[in-house]
Amino acid sequence: MEHGGSSDSAAARRLGRLASHLLPPTSQMEEVSILRGSNCRAKGAAPGFKVAVLGASGGIGQPLSLLMKMNPLVSVLHLYDVVNTPGVTADISHMNTGAVVRGFLGQPQLENALTGMDLVIIPAGIPRKPGMTRDDLFNINAGIVRTLCEGIAKCCPNAIVNVISNPVNSTVPIAAEVFKKAGTYNPKRLLGVTTLDVVRANTFVGEVLGLDPRDVNVPVVGGHAGVTILPLLSQVNPPCSFTPEEISYLTSRIQNGGTEVVEAKAGAGSATLSMAYAAAKFADACLRGLHGDAGIVECSYVDSQVTELPFFASKVRLGRSGIEEILPLGPLNEFERAGLEKAKKELSESIQKGVSFVNK
């Protein structure tokens, strides 16, 4: 072997690159020294975005992390949780897709997990158990979201933030208050994920109409719990008409979709798989917006002037700055106008609860 020396150093460089993926560096400086002078081939051909999943070991976090690893727009995927991230990271890192995966375990590693991220997705928190209202979750999940958002304000204040942790009607206002206190609040970059309500609406309406749910688009506005979830069945695409019985059945089923799953799982959890699918779909829309794709419109719970409430879910157009435009509600029928008043009353209380939690 005459070329032993050069092939040895090439092999050493390759091992250095591998080590940098498998053992996340403790500091940015260490990472630079490992990767200096070598183009990291594992990053995939296309430049992409850096995405962090906070709560990556949980019921939503694991399948969501899997789906984000499959997304070609993701070049770096950071998985953070307070338990089990080394295992989840090792498992997902074996997938032969472009994103480089790194795991971060526990509060001391939160800042490393967040530094330099373009998009942060937050499914962290405890799930609903049978008999629990979304409000029972409040104190635990509110504290978790506050801590994570303090980290975001410090380490990646310009990232787009997708909030999944329930109750979303309160956790998005909590995130906003934390960012305001830190002086980093940008309402265009904070989005509550209500996509599961739209996904369910498209599925259930598709069943009633005998259509492929992928061809159905139901705007769902308001909030993300019970009566605050308001499907605008008068605006369904393709245009169609429902009987009063169908409207009542569909509205109720869409509003109670989460409870349907909690009861079916009988103590073994809540909607995690469909939620992960919906979250990945929404994250993909945010990334396509950042990428500069045109005409990306999704429903989301955001800081809004559509109603007199400070936060409201409606259609938003996504782009390079996050939310480019919040679209008007459009014409509502009498049933929907009555539903809107009910939704606003409960939403108002949930928003105030979130704001008070941070300012108490």
Bridge partners (DSSP) listed for residue 316: 298, 326
Six-digit token string for 350: 């949930």
Three-class SS of residue 232? Answer: coil
Annotated catalytic residue, options 3, 78, 224, 291: 224
Residues 319, 311, 142, 357, CA torsion sign: positive
Torsion of CA 274, 280, 285, 289, to 10 degrees: 160
Active-site annotation holds for 224: yes
Q: CA-based angle 161:163:169, to the nearest 5?
A: 130
Nearest to 352 by CA among 183, 185, 172, 224: 172
CA 218/CA 231 separation, integer angstroms = 7
Integer CA distances (angstroms), 119 to 116, 187, 305, in order: 9, 15, 24
231 in Cβ contact with 336 (< 8 Å):
no
Query: And the tokens for 252?
Result: 């109720």
Active-site residues, by number, are 224
